[in-house]
Chain A
């Protein structure tokens, strides 16, 4: 350790806690930092709330917004319950079709989260695999994969979504809902996997020359097994952080796409669709149709982003 190196002495840590895994995590520095950081706690609480709300939407929501049969046009344009003309059965008011805003919100949140999480999961899967292969194989394979990713990077997700949507509608003119969902997830995935691929490729390039990889090669481990068992666990750190932040971004992008009309159909609106619908009525003074979904969007994206930020900072000293 020299004057320049971080001055935490080499063996400054106390002896590691014993016991089962959960106990070790409870006593770990990571958990400790977590409870001491108000940002992390609040962000986690909000995110958790959103997730629970979204998961339990069919049971929590007082009405079913996609059930067209129960919509009553007479109940449309109702303001939130605490205002004059509001009704208790519609706590956050209704939109132009008589849909309860709270229910629409919960279901919309559900769809947004589903799209966000599945697109990130898919991006991570594709990106990490590509990065591992590119970094480990090197040479032509690496060059080809990286050029491919360069190409992908030059397309904005919205354009891709438009493209896939158009193509999809031509090929499958009748599959509306599934197609919409598929288009969204595909569009988001195609543009986001590159980020993971690059990060993982960089880390793989570093790890692959390390002695523990050489030791495994020496014993005769096959390359795929080596990648999976040795390299992968060691490159996942930054991916975790990126993915958390990416969920927030994906939700916002999905909202944009839905706002633009590509994406989930209006009968099962996501947050973006709700915002779009509500936009038309904003100037008529019926602000609740836009504002509540927008607020929900901001809350969930913000909390997930903050969690991701905190995670990156908390994990940093451990990532060497």
Chain B
């Protein structure tokens, strides 16, 4: 993997060591089509660029939230950060180590790295093996890593369950005997079992009810504070992100279009897409404010528009937008990829 031309990731605003970095991360999927079709159509091999040239840095104890609609690549990016997917370009670094290279290398180093990073998945029903008791599920990372002896598992599991607000007596039960919110807590208990420094949360509350969501988000905030966890929080829900994030990155069709501290993003959104997203969030408590109409839908990732991928939906698009893809540029602590912002039209 080559170092990309992306600028060095910006240091976080507050002091603190950078724990997690992405440098020019790229992931393309080649589409395999039947031989006959390829011969007949004569166009070259097709590929979907799920993630393109994404760079960011997260300092210890801070949370970066990535938002975007379906197909923007945020889940693929999250998986690359923990080694579940292999980048086709760029690097993901955790505590200074290149994730992919370390995991592919000597077993000891790989194992040590796995201990330091974990993930909480979106679907509480699919993220726990339905045939395993939850005691075994939570103990699995510890036993796989060889951190404890099987005899010690009971005690550790009980402690972990307690830290997420579940009763120790539940260890013998199966996942289907718990509600969605409780299963997410079990997922979280499993994720913090090995004492990771970096936690990726992929839409952890999207399928939960509102009151349960509040419980789980509060739990995550508490755990982060207690354990100085560095978090990457993936979500499509901007309102949730506001409660959780220190910094926010907005993704569209695989690229970062805006990266800003929370206050800036919500207070003074720069990129037209960010504005559109914010305008589209149904407003549970405000008046029925009349907002700029939201336009169109996300383009087909197989055939992204030329120039700026957002231009078909953008009320501020001009000729340059249709032809030239904007780069992420820094403007007052906020990084935005937009010609209109750069040209001062916005």
Contacts and interface: CB of A to CB of B under 8 A. Distances in A.
A10 B209 CA distance: 13
Contacts of B132: 230
Contacts of B82: 218
A216 B83 CA distance: 12
A218 B127 contact: no
B126 interface: yes
A214 B121 contact: yes
A216 B128 CA distance: 10
A211 B127 contact: yes
A9 interface: no
A217 interface: yes
B132 to A, nearest CB: 8
B129 interface: yes
Q: B79, B82, B122, B144: which has the most chain A beta carbons within 10 Å?
A: B144
Contacts of B16: none
Interface string A8-31: 001100001000000000000000
Contacts of B140: 216, 219
A230 B79 CA distance: 20
Contact of B126 (A16, A211, A220, A221): A211
A27 to B, nearest CB: 14
A219 B141 contact: yes
Nearest to B110: A220
A215 B130 contact: no
Nearest to A217: B84
Interface string A186-223: 00000000000000000000000011101111111100
A141 to B, nearest CB: 15
Contacts of A217: 84
A233 interface: yes
A103 B122 CA distance: 63
B152 interface: no
Contacts of A211: 121-123, 126-127
A234 interface: yes
Contacts of B130: 234
Contacts of B123: 211
Contacts of A216: 129, 140, 144
Given A16-B173, A234-B130, A218 B119 contact: yes
B129 A218 contact: no
A218 B126 contact: no
B111 A220 contact: yes
A212 B122 CA distance: 11
Nearest to A230: B129
A218 B118 CA distance: 7
Interface residues of A, number: 17
Interface residues of B, number: 29
Contacts of A221: 144
A137 to B, nearest CB: 16
A215 B127 contact: yes
A215 B128 CA distance: 8
A77 to B, nearest CB: 58
B121 to A, nearest CB: 4
B179 A11 contact: yes
A218 B140 CA distance: 11
Contacts of B114: 218-220
Contacts of B187: 215
A16 B83 CA distance: 38
A221 B145 CA distance: 9
B119 A220 contact: no
B110 A212 contact: no
Contact of A210 (B119, B126, B190): B126
Contacts of B5: none
A217 B84 CA distance: 8
Contact of A234 (B121, B122, B129, B145): B129
Q: A214, A220, A221, A230: which has the most chain B beta carbons within 10 Å?
A: A220
Interface in B125-152: 126-132, 140-141, 144-145
Contact of B128 (A212, A218, A219, A220): A212
Given A16-B177, A219-B144, 15 more contacts: A10-B179, A211-B121, A212-B127, A212-B129, A214-B119, A215-B121, A218-B82, A218-B114, A218-B118, A218-B119, A220-B114, A220-B144, A220-B145, A230-B129, A230-B132
Interface of A: 10-11, 16, 210-212, 214-221, 230, 233-234
27 contacts: A10-B179, A16-B173, A16-B177, A211-B121, A211-B122, A211-B123, A211-B126, A212-B126, A212-B127, A212-B128, A214-B84, A215-B121, A215-B127, A215-B187, A215-B190, A216-B129, A218-B82, A218-B83, A218-B84, A218-B114, A218-B118, A219-B144, A220-B110, A220-B111, A220-B145, A230-B132, A233-B131
> 8 closest pairs, A vs B, by CB?
A211-B127, A211-B121, A233-B131, A212-B129, A210-B126, A219-B141, A211-B126, A219-B144
